[in-house]
Amino acid sequence: MNIYLDLFTTFFRTGACTFGGGYAMLPILQRDVVENKGWATDEELTDYFAIGQCTPGVIAVNTATFIGYKYKGILGGIAATLGIVCPSVIIITIIALFLRTFADLPAVAHAFSGIRACVCTLILNAALKIWKSALIDLPTALIFVAVFFLSVLWGLSPSILVIVSSIIGLGFKRARGWNT
């Protein structure tokens, strides 16, 4: 199959099956992109999510673009980006046409409650998978604890936390010697 079509359809399926934003798509991407396709490693996917969060735009779109670009250059980035965006455009258009009619129905409200609960579980599952590859030693565990408390207690911007964490990570790496 044409690799660009494969990128498009893989990300189209991810976009069509993801409710709840970029974090909810992480387990799907981990399975499809890392395990099934081998287009990225767990570490790369984690890095793409981190970069995607601190760059302008939607995390899902940024991550798809990074993966597509890494795998097949500019055309790969475009194919992956279009794939992740198309389902949302289609779904939003359909919802906009019918939402006024159905928004007040109890069944719709209950369905969205169920979807939100499911998304929380998917995000937790993704976080546990990332945990294994991200917290590899004491310095990364300390960064995790510090970022957790800074984000929860003070609500610091994720962009600031990512930038400061990367600087601290570089400091730890330099202190240990670049080859370790």
Q: What is the per-residue pLDDT across 121-163, written as a single tens digit (0 to 9) for each?
A: 878 887 887 787 788 888 888 999 999 999 999 888 888 898 8
Residue pair 46/126 in contact (Cβ under 8 Å)? The answer is: no
CA angle (47, 45, 21) in 5-degree steps: 100
Q: Which tokens belong to 90? A: 């289609």
Q: Copy the structure tokens of residue 83.
A: 């794939």
Q: Pick the more confident residue, 176 or 143.
A: 143
d(CA 55, CA 162): 10
What is the rounded average pLDDT for all residues in the chain? 85
Cβ burial, residue 179 (10 Å; 0-12/13-18/19+): exposed
pLDDT at 45: 87
Nearest to 21 by CA among 61, 80, 48: 61
